[in-house]
Amino acid sequence: MSRLRAGTAPRTAALVSCAALLIGGCAAPPALTALSGPASPPAATAESASGPTSPALRPIDPDRFRAAVERAAKRLMVPGAVVQLRTPQGNFRAAVGTAERGTAEPPTTRDHFRIASNTKTMTAALIGLLAQDGRLRLSDPVSDYVPGVPGGERITIEQLLTMRSGLYNYTDAPGLAASLDADPGRARTPRAMLDIAFRHPPDFPPGTSYAYSNTNYVLLGLVAEKAGGRPLARQFQDRLFTPLGLTGTSLPGVEDRSLPAPYAHGYMYGGTAYALVDRPYPADVRAAARSGKLRPVDYTHQNPSYATAAGGVISTADDLSTWIRALVTGKVFGPAFQRQWLHSPRAEDPGARDGQEYGYGIAHQRFGPDAAMYYHGGELPGYNSFIGYDPDHRVTLVIWTNLTVSPGGRATAIALLPTVLNQVYAGLSLPTGGG
């Protein structure tokens, strides 16, 4: 599940690498084919501009913006998609298709969905707050908080945050996907997921390289519980969700497979492995999906307890817009730690020229001469999403879809990103591809 699949990883990782300086990881941006559903409601401007608009930003026409999103979505065959965009010109929303196959109910920015690896931004933020409180230090070894971690006395909390521990990614284990398919409702504890990871040797010595691993963030959830003295869900609620007014955001309990109403159903073609380990669709599956002979599986109520601090949170587009902007603009941390957080991203591959960086639960990438974005992605069976904020131009962007991977193998929300950025930034002409 690469970026948990809860997030981004090969397929959804780099904002820029696959699309001429834009988008992430392993899947050059394409477009989505949306099942034809009701036309999206007018995506009207809501706020007036606060200050002059940068020449780096295009004037946004709501109808053109909505039409561009809808065309891109129809190339990917997603049942439904939502784009929530905020710029100095105002707020723009585009909703495509339906929140549930077989209905005419359009998705909205208030619909709940599983945000997958975007959860990591929250887990890292909680760790940062605990560091501010003096309850932990980022230089502490994980063994001070969680027993039984192989080599844990040599792995620091900071290395977990920045994906430099070398610990095996438990969602890559073939048996996990098979177990989820065989018993999708079963509760799975963080300790059980760590047991899977620790049966495999580390990928490299701590601090010597980068590799995206959900194991790191499952561990950080346990670190937060030990240092904070309370369950992770309670700390999320008290320290992040309530102070910021994120009323539609929660971390469900280990037995809870439900989503609060209203919610979008989530779909994917085939078994869980197509999300967890980036297994490509065989040619016959691609052909059957495109022809309509193969229908996607409804993964809405697969138990997400295997994701926890790495990808278990439920939220809405409205809440995520508030969250990513607050995180980047200093509404979560004090000034000193905020500076540390902003400067935490480091090149994932120092020899690469794609500019892709990862820090304390956040990615960063420049996708044009005048723009860069702090961002993350999320992917679980049923849902794909992207959150980002450009502090230079005050651009907030949230995209979610209720189909994990298009028939062509593209992470669907990430595939919509070039289409959206072409509408926002002057001078960009990013390829949007097919589904």
pLDDT tens column, 10-20 = 454 444 443 33
pLDDT of residue 295 exceeding 50, the answer is yes
- Residue 11 has what pLDDT? 54
Q: What confidence tier does 52 reach under pLDDT thresholds 50, 70, 90?
A: low
Burial (Cβ within 10 Å: 0-12, 13-18, ≥19) of residue 52: exposed
Pairing of β 113-114 and β 314-315 = antiparallel
Portion of the chain with pLDDT greater than 90, in percent: 81
- Residue 53 has what pLDDT? 72
- Residue 45 has what pLDDT? 27
Task: Select the more confidently predicted residue: 31 or 237.
Answer: 237
pLDDT of residue 46 exceeding 50, the answer is no
Pairing of β 371-380 and β 383-390 = antiparallel
- Residue 44 has what pLDDT? 31
Place of tokens 């304390």: 360
Q: What confidence tier does 28 reach under pLDDT thresholds 50, 70, 90?
A: very low
- Residue 354 has what pLDDT? 76
pLDDT tens column, 154-213 = 999 999 999 999 999 999 998 999 999 999 999 999 999 999 999 999 999 999 999 999
Q: What confidence tier does 49 reach under pLDDT thresholds 50, 70, 90?
A: very low
- Residue 351 has what pLDDT? 79
Measured CA to CA in angstroms, residue 208 lies from 58, 204, 290 at distances of 42, 7, 43
Architecture of the domain made up of 2-424: 3-Layer(aba) Sandwich (3.40)
Alpha carbons 8 and 377: distance in angstroms, whole number: 5
Which pair of structure tokens corresponds to residue 369? Answer: 């001469």
pLDDT of residue 217 exceeding 70, the answer is yes
Average pLDDT over the chain reads 88
- For residue 12, the tally of other CB atoms under 10 A from its CB is 35
176, 135 contact by CB (below 8 A): no
Q: What confidence tier does 429 reach under pLDDT thresholds 50, 70, 90?
A: confident
Q: Where are the domains of the chain?
A: 2-424
- Residue 21 has what pLDDT? 30
Alpha carbons 411 and 395: distance in angstroms, whole number: 22
Tally DSSP H helices, then E strands, for the chain.
Answer: 14, 12
- Residue 391 has what pLDDT? 96
Task: Select the more confidently predicted residue: 21 or 363.
Answer: 363
CA-wise closest residue to 68 among 435, 432, 403? 432
- Residue 37 has what pLDDT? 25
Residues 220-246 have a mean pLDDT of 98
pLDDT tens column, 348-394 = 988 777 789 999 999 999 887 778 999 999 999 999 999 999 999 99
